[in-house]
Amino acid sequence: MFGWRLQDSMLFTCWNMIVCVAMGVAQPFLLARLAAVSRHPSNWKLWVVVIASGYFDAHSIWHLATVPLTILWWSFIRDDAEFRTSSLLKKSKTKAK
């Protein structure tokens, strides 16, 4: 019984992979067709997506975004520490007077 379920699982995994690859290949072609026939004012954005989808996928964009987001986060942490320190120093100076 377990072997039969495992075999069904493998079949569904296989079909899932086939559909995902087919859609991944079809999407840039469909978007390029839409960009070619569309007269939308933001048509250039669609072309950027079509061209970039050939070079980047969601996972690689996520990895690319982690570097600047980490730098931005630690910049915020530093600024927050400076702000809190300066506000504590101002409070201590006003209490000392």
The residue type of 54 is G
pLDDT at position 72 is 92
Q: At 3, is the pLDDT very low, low, confident or very high (cuts 50, 70, 90)?
A: low
Task: Please check whether residues 63 and 35 belong to one and the same domain.
Answer: no
Task: Please check whether residues 41 and 4 belong to one and the same domain.
Answer: yes
pLDDT digits (tens, 9 = 90+) for 5-38: 656 667 778 888 888 889 988 988 998 998 899 8
Among 26, 32, 69, CA closest to 48: 32
The residue type of 64 is L
Task: Please check whether residues 71 and 90 belong to one and the same domain.
Answer: yes
Split into its structural domains, the chain has a count of: 2
Reported as half-sphere exposure (CB side, CA atoms, 13 A), residue 30 has a value of 6
Which domain does 35 fall in, by range? 1-55
- What does the angle CA 61 – CA 66 – CA 68 come to, to the nearest 5 degrees? 105
What CA–CA distance (Å, rounded) separates 74 from 9?
44
pLDDT digits (tens, 9 = 90+) for 52-70: 877 887 788 888 889 998 9
